[in-house]
Structure 1
Amino acid sequence: MAVSAALNPRIGILYVVATPIGNLDDISTRALSVLRDVALIAAEDTRHSARLLQHFGIMTPLAACHEHNERDQGARFLARLLAGEDVALISDAGTPLISDPGFHLVRQARAAGIRVVPVPGPCALITALSAAGLPSDRFVFEGFLPARTAARQARLERLKEESRTLIFYEAPHRLLECLGDLERIMGSDRLAVLARELTKTFETFQGLPLGELRAWVAADGNQQRGECVLLLAGWQAPSDNSVSAEALRVLDLLLKEMPLGKAAALAAEITGVRKNLLYQAALERRG
């Protein structure tokens, strides 16, 4: 029979605890206190987290909570919480749930009336954004792009005209492929920043147009190692006095089939570019 939160006057708290993404000095005093005081730590990889706890002399027991078991094992953690024990949720690095496991456990806990308390700290995407020099007032975090080329390109096509700063995580062995697809779809001149090995010894920030950034990474195998965050400047609409490459492509197709004036008028209707600009472009193309 399911345990009800109402049966226990002292329900435990589920703490969502951020841990360092590299430099161990980045852990907060509050995080250390919580990890010492809870009855159990739910960890993405118990072997990895055991080294972190050992470094800080923390003896709290660990239990696995990863993407393959968190749906099924959630009841195990809920039972401990409903019995009055506090539990901390951590991932291998950074803030849990951000491209890491934990969402299902947090949702189950909230549904059961259990208090969920965040203990904030390091997060790779925010760390990268803070030092990238790209607009940070509005941004979109896309996590990891699909591993398969076709699916990755399809996702990027949907983001092609996103005006906010785009942030991706990428595995080092797919970095060059990803940069190639970004250049192909977003254009070689779009400004991008590679933030690699954040807070670690070989931390790197490199900001270049996508074509140059891809070539720079291809020329240096060391840049294809470690944890990577890719940031991309948002799309900017062409100015009122310019004609986009896509509008010119439409115009060229229509010029093959109809008179200049009619082609410019139809191209304006299709693309939204002003007719007089397209008419002038058509004159130039007709010579």
Structure 2
Amino acid sequence: MKPALYLIPVTLGDTSIEQVLPAYNKDIILSIKHFIVEDIRSARRFLKKVDQDIDIDSLRFYELNKRTPKSQFSNYLDPLHNGESMGVISEAGCPAVADPGADVVAIAQKKGLNVVPLVGPSSIILGVMASGFNGQSFAFNGYLPIDTNERMKSLKNLETKIYQEDQTQLFIETPYRNHKMLDDILAHCRPQTKLCIAANITCPDEYIQTKSVQEWKKGVPNLAKVPCIFLLYK
């Protein structure tokens, strides 16, 4: 196996490995001894989920999150420079997508190192697939502003793009603020604008539903503390 920085997708929730990840991923994971991870504890749990017999203590972890000084990023790739493959593991879904792992991938690309993305679940792509919205032109906007006025402006700007550019708009929110986000969407978006709520994607209690803003005002699901992605379209 050629030494590379492998981007390793993680299940989006309490889903079996076999349901969302190819068997090939396991073979790659078990061949790697160095992992760049968003959170060491959750990465260790994921690796145990991949193979209960994996020798966790023989592995080395490099934590990469919003608290990690950027000056450390480049040194994280030293094992790869020395001919050893490395893996990047996010908290959930695909690494380097709405994830700090993108920073170390950028360094690897700049240095001409081999980067290999592995197949796995992405709430962004799965959400677009299930929404019934435009899948040829869409934009993921990450987190919208927390400030109410700024968030209102962002929603209005995204809605303008929907109608002027025929582009699906996606964004996420911290799970405990889902209902605040939903309240703002219903308060500030046009009644005919369509909203898809995609929650707990790939999990046993998966919920994906598309309705107009006006229809959602008749009743909304309980999204408290649930990983969720919101999609808007005309």
- Checking the alignment, whether the CA contact within 8 Å between 1:70 and 1:102 is kept in structure 2 is no
Match of 1:229 in 2: 229
How many pairs align? 221
Which residue identity is paired with 2:187? R
Which residue identity is paired with 1:36? L
Deviation at 1:177?
2.3
Picking from 45, 56, 60, the partner of 1:51 is 45
Q: Deviations over 1:7-43 (max 9, x none)?
A: xxxx942111212212232122222112111221111
- Checking the alignment, whether the CA contact within 8 Å between 2:197 and 2:207 is kept in structure 1 is yes
Which residue identity is paired with 2:152? Q
Match of 2:4 in 1: 13
Match of 2:149 in 1: 150
- The aligned runs of 1:1-287 (5 Å cut-off) are 12-22=3-13, 23=15, 24-25=17-18, 26-57=20-51, 58-59=54-55, 60-69=59-68, 71-162=70-161, 163-217=166-220, 220=221, 222-234=222-234
CA distance in 1, matches of 2:45, 2:22: 17
CA distance in 2, matches of 1:216, 1:32: 42
Match of 1:246 in 2: none
CA distance in 2, matches of 1:182, 1:99: 22
Cα RMSD after superposing both structures: 2.0
- Checking the alignment, whether the CA contact within 8 Å between 1:15 and 1:88 is kept in structure 2 is yes
CA distance in 1, matches of 2:69, 2:111: 16
Which residue identity is paired with 2:184? D
Deviation at 1:110?
1.5
Deviation at 1:87?
0.6
SS at match of 1:19: coil
CA distance in 1, matches of 2:72, 2:28: 22
The runs of 4+ residues in structure 1 deviating greater than 4 Å are none
Which residue identity is paired with 1:227? P
SS at match of 1:200: coil
- Checking the alignment, whether the CA contact within 8 Å between 2:178 and 2:225 is kept in structure 1 is no
- Checking the alignment, whether the CA contact within 8 Å between 2:186 and 2:216 is kept in structure 1 is no
* TM, length-normalised to structure 1: 0.71
Query: Structure 2: 5+ residue runs without aligned partners?
Result: none
CA distance in 2, matches of 1:214, 1:202: 22
Query: Structure 1: 5+ residue runs without aligned partners?
Result: 1-10, 235-287
Q: Deviations over 1:223-279 (max 9, x none)?
A: 333101111114xxxxxxxxxxxxxxxxxxxxxxxxxxxxxxxxxxxxxxxxxxxxx
SS at match of 1:159: helix
Greater share of helix residues, 1 or 2?
1
* TM, length-normalised to structure 2: 0.86
